[in-house]
Amino acid sequence: MTAPEGEGYLPHHPVLYHQIIHAIRPQRERKYVDGTLGAGGHAWGILKESSPDGLLLGLDVDPHALALARERLAEFGERARLVLASHTTLEQQLANLGWSLVDGIVLDLGASSMQFDTPDRGFSFLRDGPLDMRFDPTSPLTAADIINTWDERSLADILFKYGEERRSRQIARKICQSRPLHTTFQLAELVEKVVGRSPGSRLHPATRTFQALRIAVNQELAAIEKTIPQAVKALAPGGRLAVISFHSLEDRIVKHMFRSYSQDLRDENHPMAPVLRPALTRLVQRKPILPAEEEVQQNPRARSAKLRVIEKLP
Ligand SMILES: C[S@@+](CC[C@H](N)C(=O)[O-])C[C@H]1O[C@@H](n2cnc3c(N)ncnc32)[C@H](O)[C@@H]1O
């Protein structure tokens, strides 16, 4: 297996790269989907390992990511079909290509290093920029819209629900007293004033608030719930779906959905009743696959990554 760190490789380090390749087992003449293309790191590996004629559909809603991936994957020519679209439209995208079933699908959730490191995108509390946080720069809702127009209760609700922030009410109150807020630094400072820095904690006090806003802006949890059923349907027997999540809210959804597809479905009130829908998949591993210590040292973004894999049953 060839690692992607070769000459000319892009700044983004694909998280759990070898584990993804191992899970997907790319083979020639087969078809694959990378639903979160980013800089094309995982896609590169899948195309390389399925040479000379494996095909890959790559999706991303961020035109900057797509442009980078296009450059990175140019060496594979027509084998890489890259489309500016959400993975929530997977079924439609496959129909557009005339692909009925595919042999492997990857979702590497969340923001890429390039997105975090570009101040203008507004994803990071460590870089000053506009409160944006949209993966898709044409989508209507920005973080600034939420911060400056939502009522205090709705703000507190998303901070609690999507950030698991215990001080959600105080932060929401302070935001409403201080708005308008325009920049990531303004918001990060405000949160730090409310929450304070807990001694010994590795987390920046604004981590949870920024996570919550990003999830709300991009409706990330709803997107996963919408895409996984389409992915399961699109897999050929023996095909695999591999999902990398970066926080417990995402991982919980993936875990539950994977578990439910991997069990026979019965009427809950009548456990002895006939099976309504037999298991469609099997869990390739019961526990999530985590990055090795060495990977976390080289790429701190990998720290919270969890990979779960299911395989479509015949
Ligand atoms: C963590 S990065 C993926 C990195 C990629 N695996 C690589 O190796 O370079 C996640 C990417 O998913 C994209 N994304 C987020 N939500 C999406 C959606 N609903 N549909 C398609 N792409 C999405 C983001 O724009 C970002 O580029």
Residues 237-254 have a mean pLDDT of 97
Pocket of ligand 1 from Cβ distances under 6 Å:
12, 14, 35-36, 38-42, 59-62, 65, 86-88, 108, 110, 112, 135, 218, 223
Strands 235-245, 306-312: pairing is antiparallel
107 beta partners:
243
CB-count burial class (<10 Å; 0-12, 13-18, 19+) for 105: buried
- Do residues 155 and 175 touch, judged by C-beta distance below 8 A? yes
Measured from the Cα of 40, ligand 1's closest atom is: 9
The model's confidence at residue 12, banded by pLDDT at 50, 70 and 90, is low
Mutate to test the pocket of ligand 1, among 135, 218, 227, 304 (most ligand atoms within 8 A of CB): 135
Supply the pLDDT for residue 213.
Answer: 98
Averaged pLDDT score across all residues of the chain: 94
Q: Rounded to the nearest 5°, which phi and psi values hold at 130?
A: -65, 150
Q: What is the pLDDT of residues 220-232, one digit of tens each?
A: 999 999 999 999 9
- Residue 266 has a pLDDT of 84
What gap in Å lies between CA 225 and CA 230, rounded to an integer? 9
Using the predicted structure, report yes or no on whether residue 297 has a pLDDT greater than 70: yes
The whole-number average pLDDT for the span 84-98 is 98
Q: How confident is the model at residue 5 (pLDDT cuts 50, 70, 90)?
A: very low
* Nearest-angstrom CA–CA distance, 271 and 27: 41
